[in-house]
């Protein structure tokens, strides 16, 4: 039997390709636009019938950093809602035994409504942070739909909630990319120009970040091993300050601490939002410095042919 990965040329999808290898189906937008319902239904039906697909891992999404979400909350909601609903309905019609739905910790309520560390049973305790409520609500709805269908089919339909993901094949856009890839690109440009390295906010917020290859391994582990009724929390439990993350990136470009400048006019997001992990106790997470080193190595090898 085979696995179909949607969004297979993206950050998480490409990591799953590296883990799975040949013999599976890797969807990209060039093959079919998942916003088109009929094409999505036909595409998934074809691969279920002709390529023995019994599992779908839904990684396709419209994603972006804090600033991109704040500017385009309606667009982030509509595109993700339509895309997720099309993939889920197609998978339901095909009676798939395994469906993995990729969510995000941004679906959790704003900090005033929760206690830390975040646990899956707190998702419904309040609205998400206003900076990305469009994307967060679309992802919440996909999680609810996955859970409802799981209760109907009585099959292995699971939502996976990772924390901030980084790695190769990311979107390095300076304004709309996530924190780590945008920082890498800014450091690269700062080194080239001899200018100082800009960091959004004051560097103090804490984040749990997970290397994309680690997330791919945990997703595949969850297919066979996660039996809980709640979503699977694919979290690297270690917290790092944004300043620490920036410093690791700057070290790779030989940028000194005196060359860092903080921009308090830029959005900083929540101060911290630690979450529990459901990863097995013996899972070996990639160290921050190793993951950043590998990501920068890929960036340098592929520049300027990167997403930005």
Output phi, psi for 141, to 5 deg.
-60, -40
Q: Which of 46, 113, 116, 135 is catalytic?
A: 135
Active site residue 135: yes
Q: What is the largest CA-CA distance in the chain?
A: 60
Q: Which two tokens stand for residue 140?
A: 């919440």
CA distance 308 to 299: 11
- For 1, 36, 86, 87, 222, the CA distances from 55, given in Å and listed in that order, are 8, 21, 16, 12, 12
Instruction: Give the contacts of 62 (CB within 8 A, at least 6 positions apart).
Output: 75, 76, 79, 80, 83, 135
**254: helix, strand or coil:** coil
8-43 burial code (b ≥16 CB/10 A, e <16): bbbbbbbbbbeebeeebbbbeeeebebbeeeebbeb
Catalytic residues: 135
């Amino acid at each position: 039997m085979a696995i179909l990965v949607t969004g297979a040329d993206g950050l998480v999808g490409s990591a799953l390709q590296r883990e799975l290898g040949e013999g599976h189906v890797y969807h990209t937008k060039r093959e079919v636009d998942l916003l088109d319902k009929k094409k999505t239904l036909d595409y998934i039906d074809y691969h279920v019938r002709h390529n023995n697909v019994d599992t779908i891992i839904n990684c396709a999404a419209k994603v972006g950093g804090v600033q991109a979400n704040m500017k385009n909350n309606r667009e982030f909601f509509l595109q993700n809602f339509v895309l997720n609903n099309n993939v889920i309905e197609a998978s339901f019609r095909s009676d798939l035994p395994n469906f993995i739905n990729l969510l995000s910790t941004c679906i959790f309520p704003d900090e005033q409504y929760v206690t830390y560390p975040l646990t899956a049973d707190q998702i419904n305790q309040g609205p998400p942070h206003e900076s990305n409520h469009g994307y967060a609500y679309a992802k919440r709805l996909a999680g609810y739909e996955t859970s409802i269908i799981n209760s109907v089919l009585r099959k292995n339909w699971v939502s996976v909630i990772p924390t901030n993901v980084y790695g190769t094949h990311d979107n390095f856009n300076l304004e709309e990319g996530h924190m780590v890839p945008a920082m890498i690109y800014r450091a690269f440009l700062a080194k080239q120009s001899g200018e100082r390295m800009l960091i959004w906010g004051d560097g103090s917020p804490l984040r749990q970040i997970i290397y994309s290859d680690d997330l791919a391994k945990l997703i595949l582990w969850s297919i066979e091993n996660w039996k809980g009724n709640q979503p699977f929390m694919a979290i690297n439990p270690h917290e790092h300050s944004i300043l620490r993350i920036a410093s690791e990136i700057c070290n790779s470009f030989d940028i000194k601490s005196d060359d860092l400048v903080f921009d308090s006019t830029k959005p900083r997001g929540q101060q911290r939002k630690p979450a529990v992990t459901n990863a097995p106790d013996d899972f070996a997470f990639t160290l921050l410095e190793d993951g950043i080193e590998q990501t920068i190595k890929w960036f340098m090898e592929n520049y300027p042919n990167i997403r930005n």
